[in-house]
Amino acid sequence: MINIKTNVSSYIKTEIKLWEKTVKKATLSATNKTAAQGLTFARKQMTTIYNIKKKDIVKDSRTGRLTYVKRASRENGAASIIAKGRGISLGKFGARQKKAGVSVQVKRGGRRSIIKHTFGPKIPRLGKGVFTRESIDFGISGRLPIYRLYGPGPAEMLNSRRINKAVISFAQKKYPKLYEDAFNHFKKK
């Protein structure tokens, strides 16, 4: 009599563990790539809708990064697109000095609006921002202090319905292809 012992069950368990590792790695990789591409897409949407340059929503010299990706990790499988910071100086929104005040256009294709009793976009030492005085009656000390005026910030822009919906739609379309590519990559290793 001949006894044949097979180790099919241990082979299957080993293969299942390998597949699980591959799926986890592929999911993590695809999630991070989708978030990075989603950030680029979000920045492009912001500059398409709002009258602002990309450099003004990427990094701020005072506070550091304005828009960035918080990457997914093994512990936390979700990646996030983060937009922070207070409003962006109105001088970045196509400000032009007029007699009545400063004319700005916040949204592309929108109307320019004049903010009365403001100044500054032609003054380099003020950083070409838009400023107003504390009091308009120009009393004895009516010229100081001055205050910088701000428009919408990156967080407000990103959370607008139109941009938020476009970024979510973009991510849903991109993720399956990125996951498939990552899975095939890690399967070969």
pTM: 0.81
- pLDDT of 44 above 80: yes
Residue 88, judged by CB atoms within 10 A of its CB (0-12, 13-18, 19+), counts as: buried
In the prediction, which pLDDT does 61 show? 58
Of 9-13, 17-21, 125-129, 151-155, give the lowest mean pLDDT range: 9-13
How far apart are the C-alpha atoms of 35 and 95, rounded to whole Å? 33
How far apart are the C-alpha atoms of 77 and 31, rounded to whole Å? 8
pLDDT, one tens digit per residue, over 128-187 is: 889 988 765 555 556 778 889 999 989 999 999 999 999 999 999 999 999 999 999 998
- pLDDT of 53 above 70: yes
Is the Cα torsion angle 85, 87, 88, 93 positive or negative in sign? positive
- pLDDT of 120 above 70: yes
As a whole number, mean pLDDT of residues 72-77 equals: 89
DSSP-assigned beta bridge partners for residue 69: 81
Distances (CA, A) of 47 to 50, 76, 120: 5, 31, 23
Mean pLDDT in the chain?
Answer: 87
In the prediction, which pLDDT does 110 show? 87
Residue 81's closest CA among 171, 178, 21?
171
Of 11-25, 85-99, 102-116, 172-186, give the lowest mean pLDDT range: 11-25
Ranked by mean pLDDT, which of 82-91, 110-119, 129-138 comes out on top? 110-119
Contact 104, 94 (CB under 8 A): yes
How far apart are the C-alpha atoms of 18 and 75, rounded to whole Å? 19
